[in-house]
Amino acid sequence: MNHFYVTTPIYYVNAEPHIGHAYTTIVSDVLNRFHKLLGYKTFFLTGTDEHGDKIVQAAQEAGMDPKTYADRISGLFRETWPKLNIGNDYFIRTTDPKHVRVVQGILQKVRDSGDIYFSSYKGLYCIGCERFYTERELVDGKCPDHDREPVEREEANYFFRMSKYQGWLIEYIESNPDFIRPERYRNEVLSFLREPLEDLCISRPRERLNWGIPLPFDDRYVTYVWFDALINYVSAIGYPDGPLFREFWPSAHHMIAKDILKPHGIYWPTMIRAAGFPLFRSLNVHGYWKINEGKMSKSKGSVIRPLDLVPIYGLDAFRYFLLREMVFGLDANFSEEALIQRINSDLANDLGNLFSRTLAMTSKYFGGNVPPFGSQPDAMDQELMGHAREAVQTVIEEIPKLGFHKALISIWECINAANKYIDHAGPWNLAKDPAMKGRLQTVIRNALEVNRTVAVLIAPFMPSTAEKMLERLGVVKPIDELRLNEDAAWGSLVEGVPVNKGEALFPRIEVKESGKMPEKPLGRKGEMEREAISIDMFQKIDIRVGIVKQAERIPKSTKLLRLVVDIGEERQVVAGIAQHYSPEDLTGKQVVLVANLQPAKLMGVESHGMVLAAHDGNVLRIVTPEQTVAPGAKVS
């Protein structure tokens, strides 16, 4: 039996799960589900990286000890993944005793073989960061975080003889073109290896950092966090001699983003070589998600959290968007507008429409039961089958090559061809002529078949949509038991089986002019209506009272006003209230403003906040304090 083992990076517990973590984990889930669909035996690993000074610092800021803090954030990751339909088989934490033992075992082995030595290191040390810097990392000779010059410091430490493996690694990468993918990252590693490779400092004195795995041969030191973290990929599956390790390690594929290419492309292979076990199969490197064309940043408030989006837009829409929008290896941009656009066009219009019209016609013309093929296939039918075969083929070829977007494009070509097929065949006309009954049967049956093929093909990307579609098509098979060659094959629906129309797969999202959020995020089965939020979540919203200093209409817009509001500082805000208030009504008035919304551009004007208003049918009234208060007063 074929095996497939996929890993995500283990995420630092210094930040909550965001769209970047979600992407790598969802992409790994898609690969894992795809290999199951091909009949592989699979294993999927994710987890958290919990040692090192970053974590100590984050814990201090949160006023907690490192372990309590790590427990909390690791718990957040662990709870997030099932909500994104991630089917990981194991969740590793680097504080697990089993992992600690494996790290110490490998350190001892590499030490015994002579590849770890003790030496003194002299370098530039930033007291603020409590770490050494290389000349290259400094900005104008200063630490970029503390803006002060580092001091020279000498420290004795343990080093891993990484340089010894440089020639071997170059040769390995050169003779295994698929080891690091896509090619640009393989080239990046090779170009890095053109410079002499230095040995790697793998210890930290305990007086400087106590939160780590003690070196087995000198407990005055803890292990450098990367030498600890990378080993998770084997400790989780029972290195050195557990059955899972033996079974899955030879087919290990690591998924990461470009930020951690060097540790994975250089430290990890040389560590494995020194420890004397075989290399993983491939390292797969994707680009970065940017937010509205900028870097995601906590201080700018542009961190996108998957669990904020999913209740509004739906999980499968979110998964689809991530996989369709990013070309694996390149950066991609996230915006809610782009997400809404994809939902409305690809999901609601194309796929949703195909599915609902097919089932509606099955119900109308055949009492809701799968009809037989009533006539010989003609050229149009052959063409449709050709599109379906092509989509299956492209999915099989592209997913293993990381061409997720290409696989989706080809599935959508098939969906669009099917919509056209129905338009051209015109079942509504065939139904008027009793002599055309056989043809009508064939057209509806083909339409049903193409829906089933599509459902199987999208299963790795959108598991719950696939499940819903198959169930309504009368296919009774758990999603994990689907097999591409059997279940995507044309003609495998069973004649006479009842299908079930159900509600729309993807409701359209209406966008208001006054903002980018959908008009009715609550309209979707009331998920949000009932979802209670914590007081912590509420307190993240910065609501302030302000005074309107200026107000004017925005040219060419019937709904928007540009306001300048004093909330202790002046803010430009765009509000969709022009049909209810004229600019003169507003100047001098007190309003209530959400002050920490991400900036947005409306009709070309930047908005840095949102004016709160009550909506009562067609009436809109701005919210204002019952008596005048100082501008900037906090509302809670």
For 125, list phi and psi in degrees, rounded to 5: -120, 130
Residue 49 as a binder of ligand ME8 (CB under 6 A): the answer is yes
Give the Cβ contact number of residue 518 at 10 Å: 20
Q: How many CA atoms lie within 13 A of 450 on its CB side?
A: 34
Candidate list 6, 9, 304, 310; residue touching ligand ME8; CB under 6 A: 9
What are 254's two structure tokens?
A: 């690591």
Is 424 catalytic? The answer is: no
- The residue (of 365 and 404) whose beta carbon lies closer to ligand ME8 is 404
Cα separation, 597 vs 609, whole angstroms: 5
The least CB distance from residue 19 to ligand ME8, in Å, is 7
SS3 category, 274: helix
Residue 82 corresponds to which amino acid?
A: P
Residue 462 as a binder of ligand ME8 (CB under 6 A): the answer is no
Residue 318 as a binder of ligand ME8 (CB under 6 A): the answer is no
Among 39, 35, 38, 21, residue whose Cα is nearest residue 84? 21
Cα separation, 326 vs 566, whole angstroms: 40
Among 394, 422, 412, residue whose Cα is nearest residue 350? 412
The least CB distance from residue 331 to ligand ME8, in Å, is 8
Answer yes or no: are the C-beta atoms of 248 and 237 closer than 8 Å: yes
Contacts of 623-626 spanning 24+ positions with Cβ under 8 A:
623/591, 623/592, 624/589, 624/590, 624/591, 624/592, 625/545, 625/590, 625/592
Is 556 catalytic? The answer is: no
Candidate list 58, 173, 222, 229; residue touching ligand ME8; CB under 6 A: 229
- The residue (of 11 and 404) whose beta carbon lies closer to ligand ME8 is 11
- The residue (of 11 and 321) whose beta carbon lies closer to ligand ME8 is 11
Q: How many of the chain's residues bind ligand ME8 (CB under 6 A)?
A: 19
Residues 157-176 that bind ligand ME8 (CB under 6 A): none
Answer yes or no: are the C-beta atoms of 12 and 77 closer than 8 Å: no
The least CB distance from residue 258 to ligand ME8, in Å, is 7
Residue 517 as a binder of ligand ME8 (CB under 6 A): the answer is no
Candidate list 91, 121, 172, 288; residue touching ligand ME8; CB under 6 A: 288
Is 414 catalytic? The answer is: no
Candidate list 21, 33, 181, 253; residue touching ligand ME8; CB under 6 A: 21
Q: Say which DSSP state 244 is in.
A: H
Candidate list 4, 17, 20, 316; residue touching ligand ME8; CB under 6 A: 20
What are 169's two structure tokens?
A: 């690694």
Answer yes or no: are the C-beta atoms of 533 and 541 closer than 8 Å: no
- The residue (of 310 and 444) whose beta carbon lies closer to ligand ME8 is 310
Is 295 catalytic? The answer is: yes
The least CB distance from residue 305 to ligand ME8, in Å, is 12
Catalytic residue among 67, 295, 512, 634: 295
Is 18 catalytic? The answer is: yes
Q: One symbol per residue from 100 to 139: x for binding ligand ME8 (CB under 6 A), - otherwise; what is it? A: ----------------------------------------
Answer yes or no: are the C-beta atoms of 139 and 179 closer than 8 Å: no
Answer yes or no: are the C-beta atoms of 347 and 200 closer than 8 Å: no
Residue 289 as a binder of ligand ME8 (CB under 6 A): the answer is yes
Answer yes or no: are the C-beta atoms of 256 and 328 closer than 8 Å: no
Is 126 catalytic? The answer is: yes
- The residue (of 12 and 159) whose beta carbon lies closer to ligand ME8 is 12
Which residues are catalytic, by number? 18, 21, 126, 129, 143, 146, 295, 298
Binding site for ligand ME8 (CB under 6 A): 9-12, 20-21, 23-24, 49, 229-230, 232, 256-257, 259-260, 288-289, 296
